[in-house]
Amino acid sequence: MYVAGVDVGSTATKAIILDENQRIVGRGLTHTGANVIKAAERAFAQARADAKSDDYEIGFIVGTGYGRYKVPFGNTQITEIGCHGKGAHYLFPETRTILDIGGQDTKAIKISAQGEVSDFCMNDKCAAGTGRFLEASASVIGLTLDEIGDVSMRSSHPLRITNMCTVFVESEILSHLARGKKVEDVLRGVNNAIAGRSVALMRRVGLDDEITFTGGVSRNKGMVTAIEERLERRVNVSPDSQFIGAIGAALFAWERTQKKVGAS
Amino acid sequence: MRTQPVMKFEERIAWCKEQLEDPTFPTLREFKGRNGTRAPIVGNFPVWAPQEIAHAAGALPVTIAGGGSSVEIDHADSRVQSFVCSISRSTLELGLRGYLDPIDAMVFTSICDVARNLGGVFKRNFPKIQTFYLHCPQNVSSPAAVDYFATELRRFRRAMEDFIGDGITDAAIARSVGVFNEHRTALADLYALRREHPEKISATESYLLLRASQLMPREEHTAILRSTFAELEARPTRRRDKIRVLIEGSFCEQPPWELIEAIEDAGCYIVDDDFLLGPRWYDTPVKLGEDPIRSMAEAYVKYSVTSSIRHYGDRPRADHFAHKLKENRVDGVIFCAAKFCEPALYDYVLLKDVADQAGIPHLSFEFEEKMGVFETLRTQVETFVESILLFAD
Amino acid sequence: MILKAEDLGYSSDVCGYVKNDIGLVANDMTGPFGKMAKPDLLVCTYSGCNTYIKWFEALAAHFNCPLYMFDVPFSRGPETHAADIRYMMSELKELIVLCEKITGKKYDEDKLKDILRRSREAEDLWVDILHSAKRTPSPFDAFFEAVFFMAPIYVLRGSQECVDYYRAAKAEIDARVVSGTCPIPEEKFRVVMEGPPPWPHFRTFWELFKTWGVVCVGSSYSKVGGIWDFGFRHDPERPLESLAEYSLECYTNYNLARRVEMLNRYMKEYNADALVIHSVKSCRAFSMGQADMREVFIHDLQVPTLFIESDLADPRYFSKAQLKNRIDAFFESLEHQRIVAGKTA
């Protein structure tokens, strides 16, 4: 019997299908857009097609992410904090600290050796240090989120970005560019600023163990480098990092099916 | 021969700038390393502290006015929420990074809710630094306020005595009050010079000198100021077509010196300001009576300069501000409050009305000690200056 | 009201609570509950909130009326300083003279003693209600209900109505105990709440906790106008002295170390599972240092602690989705830990 996890985030919706041996057999990814229900359905359908699982029964489906209550076909929902912890533990069993930078939220999660959440911290009310901050910065320059990582890696003299307010950072970037500063140096500065905030969050839950970086922003290589430099150590980034929440949700789904089997 | 003193002055300013931009406090480390110096260093958070008592205990009293733009915030972001002012965050960062190691004690006073709680955070996080908290009286119209504050200052004196393991005599305190009176007089002369001859010394230079005073023995700084005046006399200068402005709101968190320079470059003579008010807390020398502690308490209650950090009872702050505008013959006011600084932001509303009533144009913006780009601000100030110059007469 | 105050020049970053009041004053003294009278005298007893000083200075300028700044020294350690009491008693005497002048009436100490006697009576009843949360399940929510129950003892203290109110409230709590009625029908988690409530979204906020079967067994906000549950009472035999002592014994006048100590005492005495810190932007007196408090509870005292953020007055600073996410994740993991612990036990 297969199980699925659907992670409806503020920017992207992700779906994962696992087989009975907890192996990933299908992935789905789509923009969330305005219609959350449609996005969940789209991602799930993609994952089913990817897993060629149309004939299989999907035994249990767990929804997670901001739109977790809007997954109409889900059996239950679990917060993405729990799911990211679970997912990261699955990919990197030694990890104890997880940094997840998503569209609206940045989270530092501490997990036990079993992958259970023992503490977590999130960015405060404002969007400073989240994917949205990065997006605002990128759009001032006229780049997309996917492009800025590579561009920033070319920087040799990163600038210091002092405004952490998404509204004010735009004018700060514009005035740097007006003074003839290089785009890559500005972007590297933005990455460094976010890395600073993120590391501060991780310090709150503790930084002693192997660290895994998850969420959409972890695909930005410049961001990974900025965090590694700030921490002075390597961090785990999985090619599936964007899917970690969905993987965690699917693992919770798998546990449920096991319990049912056990009970009957 | 004529240019040499000018060079010396500029070198000194460059040195002050260096001190300000090095968050590791090289002068304090050097002070600690001096042969035979066992004197402790007693720091205080802005705005005011009874530095005279620390001085009488043989300590070097210093004001730690934040980390400025030179310290990268790494640890403190996790302890201070984003809606709290930068100076509280950077001061904590200085501690968490170990930059405050040369400091033996820190004094916090009741200037605002944030500073007060920062004292509590210091107490818990830095057991090696003795943390004192003083409640300065707010009900200054009460006849009991002087008695109360004298008792509070005596409590501080006892704590300092325990700290150095020796008594502090009244005579020593009286001597220290004298040293600080001389320093305050020298600073008042510096400000008088700016008011009368703003072309002789820029506000940026004066600010850098003022900041440096808080990181060295006051006696040395008084001497520096005195020799500076002689040098400035000889400085070749030319009065430019600038407006006379007053800056209000920067009494605790300090703006980057580049911000002050940007305002001046945009066409302003800053003839008065409230940067780092603590060392200039009294306009006139503290009058010494038989009991120097009581004299200090009386001076605080009755003769402090006005700022947003305390209540002034029967002599409201608005009246003082109106007087200040007149005395300095200003063409404009720039309200320059630190972001999230509640005392300054509340007073802005009252004081802008005072400026309105006096028919004096004003401009307002918020700064952060870490800000690094001043273009927008400069444009605003230039526009402000133009509007005054064009509409004048 | 907040927007009205911001129109006058108040920053979007200053306390929303103050702006509510300034906006109301600017709105011809009219609020949702009717019109307020113009004061003849302003008395500011700010007990630990410096923002009040600025607030009352603004009001005094607006009304052009005398302002008496009743200075309450902030706690500088666990002990009470005799000089603080002397200072405040002198202030109270000055205030008596001022009131006599304004009203033309003579101060009557016997009347004050009666008021304090009734205060004391209400205080005893209020403490009984607070202590009822020691029961499991708790018949009383010591935050969500307490912040309403506390109102009469703050604004009507010393009146017979106040005593009657607490007598009725106490009877209701006793009846709840007998009938087994609880604010949270299926109590799953007992928490201590630090910080003020988000008033504009009070119900929504409570629902987020109710979903998880959370009852608050202790809270700090219900002590901002007086801490009586550790023994302090007004004393009719020492009227002015006990008024001075009272002013010192407000939660907002406690330093961080004393706040931690009090919360930890609640954690233990009320058998709580976790601490929730609700950090509000408006009130830095509360919020500055709360992140450090979190460190103490999580790392030194090993208490599961949830840190969330919104505002007590400004509805713009409240994000339900963000709060829900954090609250759900926290109790989800507490529940999970409980299940795991149950298995291994």
SS (H, E, C) chain A: CEEEEEEECCCEEEEEEECCCCCEEEEEEEECCCCHHHHHHHHHHHHHHHHCCCCCCEEEEEEECCCHHHCCCCCEECCHHHHHHHHHHHHCCCEEEEEEECCCCEEEEEECCCCCEEEEEECCCCCCCCHHHHHHHHHHHCCCHHHHHHHHCCCCCCCCCCCCCHHHHHHHHHHHHHCCCCHHHHHHHHHHHHHHHHHHHHHHHCCCCEEEEECHHHHCHHHHHHHHHHHCCCCECCCCHHHHHHHHHHHHHHHHHHHHHHHC
Q: How far is C210 from chain B (nearest CA, A)?
A: 27
Q: How far is C329 from chain A (nearest CA, A)?
A: 6
The arithmetic mean of pLDDT across residues A81-102, rounded, is 92
- Flag whether pLDDT at A189 surpasses 60: yes
Q: Predicted confidence band at B314 (pLDDT cuts at 50, 70, 90)?
A: confident
Bigger pLDDT: B240 vs A53: B240
- Flag whether pLDDT at A260 surpasses 80: no
Domain boundaries, chain B: 22-168
Give the pLDDT of residue B38: 77
- Flag whether pLDDT at C222 surpasses 90: yes
Q: Is C9 on the interface with B (CB under 8 A)?
A: yes
Interchain pair B144, C86: CB under 8 A: yes
Give the pLDDT of residue A127: 61
**Average pLDDT for chain C:** 94
Give the pLDDT of residue C53: 94
Q: Predicted confidence band at C140 (pLDDT cuts at 50, 70, 90)?
A: very high
Bigger pLDDT: A178 vs B393: A178
Interchain pair A82, C329: CB under 8 A: yes
CA nearest neighbour of A3 among A247, A254, A221, A242: A254
- What is the per-residue pLDDT across B78-109, written as a single tens digit (0 to 9) for each? 888 888 999 999 999 999 999 999 999 999 99
A88-97, A215-224, B272-281, B329-338: segment of lowest average pLDDT? A215-224
Give the pLDDT of residue C343: 66
Specify the CATH architecture of the domain B22-168.
3-Layer(aba) Sandwich (3.40)
B63-77, C134-148, C240-254: segment of lowest average pLDDT? B63-77
How many residues are given for chain A? 264
Provide the token pair at B100: 């405050």
Give the pLDDT of residue B240: 86
Give the pLDDT of residue B370: 86
Neighboring chain C residues of B148 at a CB cutoff of 8 Å: 73, 83-84, 86-87
- Flag whether pLDDT at B36 surpasses 80: no
Q: Are B41 and B192 spatial neighbours (Cβ–Cβ below 8 Å)?
A: no
Q: How far is B372 from chain A (nearest CA, A)?
A: 7
Share of chain A above pLDDT 90, in %: 36
Bigger pLDDT: B350 vs C322: B350
Based on its alpha-carbon atoms, the radius of gyration of chain B, rounded to whole angstroms, reads: 20
Interchain pair A79, C332: CB under 8 A: yes
- Flag whether pLDDT at B256 surpasses 90: yes
Q: Predicted confidence band at B48 (pLDDT cuts at 50, 70, 90)?
A: very high
A184-193, B90-99, C288-297: segment of lowest average pLDDT? A184-193
Bigger pLDDT: B1 vs C195: C195
Provide the token pair at B298: 């009386």
Instruction: Tell me if residue B132 falls in helix, strand or coil.
Output: strand
Give the pLDDT of residue B35: 64
- What is the per-residue pLDDT across B288-303, written as a single tens digit (0 to 9) for each? 999 999 999 999 999 9
**Average pLDDT for chain A:** 86
Which range in A135-139, B379-383, C41-45 is most confidently predicted, on average pLDDT? C41-45
Give the pLDDT of residue B5: 40
Neighboring chain B residues of A196 at a CB cutoff of 8 Å: 72-74, 77
The chain C residue lying nearest B343, using CA atoms, is: C54
Q: What are phi and psi of A15, to 5 degrees?
A: -135, 145
Lookup result for tokens 């306390």: C15
Q: Is B371 on the interface with A (CB under 8 A)?
A: yes
Q: Predicted confidence band at C253 (pLDDT cuts at 50, 70, 90)?
A: very high
Question: pTM, whole model, 2 decimals?
Answer: 0.89
How many C-beta neighbours within 10 Å does residue B268 have? 28
Neighboring chain C residues of B144 at a CB cutoff of 8 Å: 86-87, 90-91, 94
Distance in Å from the first CA to the final CA of chain A: 16
How many residues are given for chain C? 345
Interchain pair A116, C326: CB under 8 A: no
- Best probe of the A interface among C303, C306, C325, C337, by most A CBs < 10 A, is C325
Q: CB within 8 A of C52, min separation 6: which ones?
A: C44, C46
Interchain pair B81, C290: CB under 8 A: yes
Q: Predicted confidence band at C47 (pLDDT cuts at 50, 70, 90)?
A: confident
The arithmetic mean of pLDDT across residues B231-239, rounded, is 86
Q: Predicted confidence band at B393 (pLDDT cuts at 50, 70, 90)?
A: low
The chain A residue lying nearest B378, using CA atoms, is: A175
- What is the per-residue pLDDT across B147-190, written as a single tens digit (0 to 9) for each? 999 999 999 999 999 988 899 999 999 999 999 999 999 999 99
- Flag whether pLDDT at A68 surpasses 70: yes
ipTM (interface predicted TM): 0.94
Provide the sign of the torsion angle of the four alpha carbons B74, B76, B79, B81, taken in this order.
Answer: negative
Interchain pair C336, A119: CB under 8 A: no
Give the pLDDT of residue B33: 83
Q: Which chains sit next to B, with 3 or more Cβ pairs under 8 A?
A: A, C
Q: Are A108 and A98 spatial neighbours (Cβ–Cβ below 8 Å)?
A: yes
**Average pLDDT for chain B:** 92
- What is the per-residue pLDDT across C297-324, written as a single tens digit (0 to 9) for each? 999 999 999 999 999 998 888 888 889 9
Q: Are C192 and C275 spatial neighbours (Cβ–Cβ below 8 Å)?
A: yes
Give the pLDDT of residue A124: 67
Residue A74, Cβ density class (10 Å: 0-12 exposed, 13-18 middle, ≥19 buried):
buried
Bigger pLDDT: B324 vs A53: B324
- Flag whether pLDDT at B353 surpasses 90: yes
Give the pLDDT of residue B34: 79
Q: Predicted confidence band at A39 (pLDDT cuts at 50, 70, 90)?
A: very high
Interchain pair B346, C51: CB under 8 A: yes
- Best probe of the B interface among C251, C253, C288, C297, by most B CBs < 10 A, is C288
C-alpha to C-alpha distances, C146 to B273, C143, C216, nearest whole angstrom:
48, 5, 9
Give the pLDDT of residue C223: 95
Q: What is the dihedral of CA B325, B328, B333, B339, to 10 degrees?
A: -100
- Best probe of the B interface among A169, A203, A229, by most B CBs < 10 A, is A203
Q: How far is B266 from chain C (nearest CA, A)?
A: 25
Q: What are phi and psi of C282, to 5 degrees?
A: -55, -45
CA separation for the pair C102, A131 (Å, rounded): 60
The chain C residue lying nearest A79, using CA atoms, is: C329
For A116, which of C325, C328, C333 is closest by C-beta distance? C333
Interchain pair C9, B349: CB under 8 A: yes
Give the pLDDT of residue B6: 42
Interchain pair C71, B139: CB under 8 A: yes
Buried b (16+ CB within 10 A) or exposed e, B273-308: bbbbbbbbbbeebbebeeebbbbbbbbbbeebbbbb
Give the pLDDT of residue B304: 94
The arithmetic mean of pLDDT across residues A41-68, rounded, is 87
- Flag whether pLDDT at C109 surpasses 60: yes
